[in-house]
């Protein structure tokens, strides 16, 4: 059983979508977090995350924190869900490149744009332009960043785009991509579970064949 430590409307929300994509049983365990935007909430002693943040998961005695680590851990642990190429597959390098790009390039560029930090900062502007260019190039070539099929990379990238759409330029390609990802049945089910209060055990709607 996988346990997700979760706070509604936070970075753990999209992890419910991911768990729905995997089609495995899981438990949602709500924890409180400090919310700097409102000053509300407090770190929860019951949260095993090293910084008392979310998301964190526990699985078979392993604790995993950080969104990208959780995604990679779970797509590797449940390869039959088809969300990430297995170790040794030819597309594995491309997959890892997108995951690292998301954490090291896209998120910083996105937050820099959201905070208005690009003006007068040519280095940040250059990084931001490169992010937009790489994204638009990938989406012009396929429905998803790795081509025709949805992967864990799309899960991270599309959810960040949906969260911070205003940080990116107007683009029909980007809008259509967000819509394609956000309307997946697992994403819709995940969104409906976000506000769950109390511990919930969720059973898969359509288990993936082992």
Ligand X SMILES: N[C@@H](CCC(=O)N[C@@H](CS)C(=O)NCC(=O)O)C(=O)O
Residues that bind ligand X (CB under 6 A): 10-11, 33-34, 43, 52-55, 66-67
Nearest distance from residue 55's CB to ligand X, in Å? 6
Residue with smaller CB distance to ligand X, 105 or 175: 105
Q: Compute, in degrees rounded to 10, the torsion defined by CA atoms 162, 92, 61, 206.
A: 60
Kindly state the smallest distance separating residue 4's Cβ from ligand X, in Å. Answer: 12
Q: Is the dihedral of CA 29, 30, 34, 35 positive or negative?
A: positive
> Taking the complex as a whole, how short is the minimal distance between the CB of residue 173 and ligand X, in angstroms?
25
Residue whose CB is nearest to ligand X in the complex, by number:
53
Among 29, 92, 88, 13, which residue's Cα sits nearest to residue 63? 29
Confirm if 53 and 5 have CB atoms less than 8 A apart. no
Pick the closer one to ligand X by CB: 32 or 171: 32
Query: Nearer to ligand X by C-beta: 134 or 163?
Result: 163
163 vs 175, which CB is nearer to ligand X?
163
200: which residues sit within 8 A by CB, 6+ positions away? Answer: 27, 28, 193
């Amino acid at each position: 059983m996988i346990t997700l430590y979760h706070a509604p409307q936070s970075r753990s929300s999209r992890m419910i979508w991911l768990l729905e994509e995997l089609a495995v049983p899981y438990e949602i365990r709500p924890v409180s977090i400090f919310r700097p935007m409102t000053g509300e909430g407090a770190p929860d002693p019951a949260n095993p995350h090293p910084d008392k943040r979310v998301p964190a998961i526990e699985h078979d005695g392993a604790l995993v924190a950080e969104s990208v680590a959780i995604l990679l851990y779970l797509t590797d642990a449940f390869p039959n869900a088809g969300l990430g190429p297995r170790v040794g597959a030819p597309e594995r390098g491309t997959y890892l490149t997108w995951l690292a790009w998301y954490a090291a390039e896209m998120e910083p560029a996105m937050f820099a744009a959201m905070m208005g930090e690009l003006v007068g900062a040519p280095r940040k502007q250059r990084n931001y332009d490169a992010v937009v260019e790489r994204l638009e190039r990938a989406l012009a070539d396929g429905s998803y960043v790795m081509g025709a099929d949805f992967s864990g990379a799309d899960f991270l990238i599309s959810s960040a785009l949906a969260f911070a759409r205003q940080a990116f330029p107007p683009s029909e390609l980007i809008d259509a991509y967000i819509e394609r990802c956000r309307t997946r049945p697992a994403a819709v089910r995940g969104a409906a579970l976000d506000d769950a209060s109390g511990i919930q055990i969720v059973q898969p709607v359509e288990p993936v064949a082992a």
